[in-house]
Amino acid sequence: MTSHFKNALIIGASSGIGEALAKKLASDGTRVALVARSEDRLKAITGEMNNNDPVTNTDDAATSNSEHLYFVHDVRNTEEIPELLQLITRSLGGLDLVVYSTGVMHQVAFEEFDTVKDLEMLEVNLSGAVAWLNPVAERFGRLKAGTIVGISSVAGDRGRSGAPAYNTSKAGLTTYLEALRNRIGRYGVKVVTIKPGPVDTPMTEGLSGLLWLISAEKAASIILKKAKRGSVTAYVPARWRLLMFVFRSIPSFIFRRLKV
Ligand SMILES: NC(=O)c1ccc[n+]([C@@H]2O[C@H](COP(=O)([O-])OP(=O)(O)OC[C@H]3O[C@@H](n4cnc5c(N)ncnc54)[C@H](OP(=O)(O)O)[C@@H]3O)[C@@H](O)[C@H]2O)c1
């Protein structure tokens, strides 16, 4: 099978959008490396993608014959990243797509100011992305090729009273991705910013009243289309673009009265 991408790395691949992306890429013929913390989940998903052949973990990845590989890693351990990226690239035999899908969204009550929860969201959603995508950008810039996809969110388009730190992490990620594109786009590297609305994943489990909720598989299929095209910014699904345009146009003196 001829696939658009030969070798892909998905960071945050043990559930939700990352898992759906890994499976879709594998079924398209791309060799995939999956990264997250939950080894049991990674093992099961990678096993399924390998048609239940033996699955490889970090220790023997470089010598493995498995098509798809998993690597257990917490993105907060940033010092591990440069070496892990090298190991993954070597094990796959190259790299032409990297997706940063890692994220946490803690529920925060309206009057809650919990610094521990807030800093974890910034660390995982934003600092982890910078720590992974900096060395990827350096490599792709040097090679003058490659596609980077960052899963940001519609949540980053406005500072909503209900989720200050989550919104900030996504606004920061969107800005970082734009800046990265402005640095390495000139060398032919694609940097794609994805802004999904609600997607049915463990992150949104138990939340009610979610507008235009779509499945992780649907989101993955749209995201991969945008990645192949090398889009700049894609709302997922596309109708969020218009809604967020309106949302961003609400004057601050009105917006601050809304409990969103
Ligand atoms: N679902 C939505 O409605 C929605 C909407 C807009 C944007 N997004 C964004 O889409 C991305 C994927 O979210 P999802 O909905 O697919 O959520 P999910 O199912 O909860 O997946 C999150 C992924 O991040 C990984 N992760 C979390 N903390 C980590 C850490 N410290 N180190 C390494 N990996 C970590 C998780 O794996 P482990 O727990 O195994 O480490 C998991 O693989 C996130 O960035 C999210 O903010 C989601």
The tens digit of pLDDT for each residue in 143-194 reads 999 999 999 999 999 999 999 999 999 999 999 999 999 999 999 999 999 9
**CB of 201 closer than 6 A to ligand 1?**
yes
Mean pLDDT of 221-244: 98
Q: What percent of the chain has pLDDT over 90?
A: 91
Return the ligand 1 atom nearest residue 100 CA: 45
18 CA → ligand 1 middle, Å: 7
* pLDDT at residue 60, as a whole number: 57
Question: How would you label 206-223 residue by residue, b for 16+ Cβ within 10 Å and e otherwise?
Answer: eeeeeeeebebeebbebb
Whole-prediction pTM? 0.96
The residue type at 76:
R
36 CA → ligand 1 middle, Å: 9
72 CA → ligand 1 middle, Å: 15
Q: CA-to-CA distance for 48 and 51, rounded, in angstroms?
A: 5
Q: Strand 190-196 vs strand 199-200: parallel, antiparallel, or unpaired? A: unpaired
Mean pLDDT of 203-210: 95
Backbone phi, then psi, for 12, in 5-degree steps?
95, 45
**CB of 151 closer than 6 A to ligand 1?**
yes
Summarised one tens digit per residue, pLDDT across range 71-85 is 999 999 999 999 999
Cβ(42)–Cβ(34) below 8 Å: yes
* pLDDT at residue 52, as a whole number: 77
Helix and strand counts by DSSP (H, E) for the chain: 9, 9
**Residue 63 scores a pLDDT above 60:** no
* pLDDT at residue 73, as a whole number: 98
* CA–CA–CA angle 229, 8, 196 (5° rounding): 55
* CA–CA–CA angle 211, 217, 20 (5° rounding): 125
Q: What percent of the chain has pLDDT over 70?
A: 94
Mean pLDDT computed over every residue of the chain: 95
* pLDDT at residue 56, as a whole number: 56
Ligand 1 pocket mutation, candidates 9, 10, 11, 15, criterion most atoms within 8 A of CB? 15
Return the ligand 1 atom nearest residue 75 CA: 32
> What residue's CA is closest to ligand 1, atom 25?
12
**CB of 207 closer than 6 A to ligand 1?**
no
> What residue's CA is closest to ligand 1, atom 42?
12
Cβ(145)–Cβ(162) below 8 Å: no
Q: Strand 147-151 vs strand 233-236: parallel, antiparallel, or unpaired? A: unpaired
Q: State the number of CA atoms in the 13 A half-sphere of 139 facing the CB.
A: 18
**Residue 139 scores a pLDDT above 60:** yes
**Residue 3 scores a pLDDT above 90:** no
> What residue's CA is closest to ligand 1, atom 20?
203
**CB of 18 closer than 6 A to ligand 1?**
yes
**CB of 124 closer than 6 A to ligand 1?**
yes
Mean pLDDT of 115-134: 98
257 CA → ligand 1 middle, Å: 30
**Residue 25 scores a pLDDT above 80:** yes
* pLDDT at residue 259, as a whole number: 77
**CB of 76 closer than 6 A to ligand 1?**
yes
Write out the two tokens for 250. 């609400």
Q: Give the pLDDT band (50/70/90) at residue 66.
A: confident
